A = this chain, B = another copy of it.
Amino acid sequence: MNSVIDITDLSVKEIDSLINTAMDMHQNPEKYSSVCKGKKLAAMFFEPSTRTRLSFEAAMLELGGSVLSVHSSATSSASKGESINDTSKVVSCYADIMAMRHPLEGAPAVAAVSASIPVINAGDGGHCHPTQTLTDLCTIKSEKGVINGLTVGFCGDLKYGRTVHSLISALARYENVRVVLISPDELKIPEYVKEGPLKNMEFSETDNLEKALPELDVLYMTRVQQERFADREQYERLRDVYILDTEKLKSAKEDMIILHPLPRVNEISVGVDADKRACYFKQVMWGKYMRMALIMLLLSGEHKGADLLEGASVTQKNCPNSRCISHTEQELPVYSKNGRCVWCDEELN
């Protein structure tokens, strides 16, 4: 499979090579300014995500290629009920590579199986968002020089934060990365992450951002969304505890870096932006270069990932995940691999 749906579709070696390419692109942009001449990226955004869409589009343009853009289901044939399978086959006639954002989990995986061009998952519900993780890794590597051996703190909503789970999975494949999990009880990291990627990592949990700060090399902030809480009062009490401001930052290392997947609401005070440790806008820049590197890799045909359906078998069970694409896609079988749905990765019981 010449597609990237999950961050684990790329080997550590491939990721390191992508980071090196991204850093070279940053140094020598003109070297890459026409490597995709005559190629087209289809940016298929079935839910709004301006930042991610513009990042992909800017990436393709800086490679000398061009862009076909679909945003929001409201202006697409999706509203007439076209399946992901058909859309993917159609777009394969128009473009050379596709980036897909979709509210339903597994939609880009279905696209990858149907399309005759490479598919990049640009975020599917709460499932995966591999280019965000590539962005995070590249920013850490380029700002800190290494990934191995770092102490990385994650702060905020660790329960629902897809980018957190995905970055932990990726860090688990490096050496001696230590993880500090900073969150209120209501938003603690789920058990399956502890029993999964965190199993072989050193990690600790705390609800105290200020105490955790001094030991961190990287602080990864996330949004704490009001809708996760039962009552507003509790939300407002907790929200303020996890707002990063210049006062709290005083106890942090001089060379710590602050990351955030953006958009932020108010979990980082604007005053922090001027601090040299604030790297979340640099992260945006690295995101563009990593997407450029990934597009180049996939168009080169040199990435040969495992076939998604290899080792999977059709099951008569329904996927219990109500946000799985299998519930809406026409005539799509549920495939089981290691007891999980091959589309959305949910456990099939």
Contacts and interface: CB of A to CB of B under 8 A. Distances in A.
A258 to B, nearest CB: 14
A-B pairs with the 5 shortest C-beta distances? A82-B263, A58-B94, A50-B76, A270-B331, A93-B285
A74 B77 contact: no
Given A90-B281, A263-B81, A284-B90, A58 B50 contact: no
A39 to B, nearest CB: 10
B48 A93 contact: no
Contact of A77 (B50, B68, B86, B92): B50
A276 to B, nearest CB: 15
Contact of A71 (B75, B273, B288, B331): B75
A38 interface: yes
Given A93-B281, A94-B58, A264 B74 contact: no
Given A33-B38, A61-B66, A86-B264, A288 B50 contact: no
Given A33-B38, A331-B269, A72 B69 contact: no
A58 B271 contact: no
Interface in A64-102: 66, 68-72, 74-83, 85-86, 89-95
Given A38-B33, A61-B66, A82-B263, A77 B49 contact: yes
Interface in A8-41: 33, 38, 40
A82 B95 CA distance: 31
A86 B80 CA distance: 30
30 contacts: A40-B58, A40-B61, A48-B75, A48-B79, A50-B78, A51-B82, A54-B68, A54-B70, A57-B94, A58-B95, A69-B69, A72-B74, A74-B74, A77-B263, A80-B265, A81-B263, A82-B262, A82-B263, A83-B270, A86-B263, A86-B264, A89-B281, A89-B284, A90-B262, A90-B281, A93-B284, A93-B288, A94-B284, A94-B288, A266-B330
A58 B281 CA distance: 29
A134 interface: no
Given A42-B54, A54-B94, 6 more contacts: A40-B62, A50-B76, A51-B77, A72-B74, A86-B262, A265-B330
Interface of A: 33, 38, 40, 42, 45, 48-51, 54-55, 57-58, 61-62, 66, 68-72, 74-83, 85-86, 89-95, 262-266, 269-271, 273, 281, 284-285, 287-288, 330-331
A66 B34 CA distance: 14
Contact of A75 (B33, B50, B270): B50
A263 B48 contact: no
Contacts of A91: 54
A78 B263 CA distance: 9
A263 B80 contact: yes
Contacts of A51: 77, 82, 90
Nearest to A85: B270
A287 B90 CA distance: 11
Contacts of A79: 48
Contacts of A271: 331
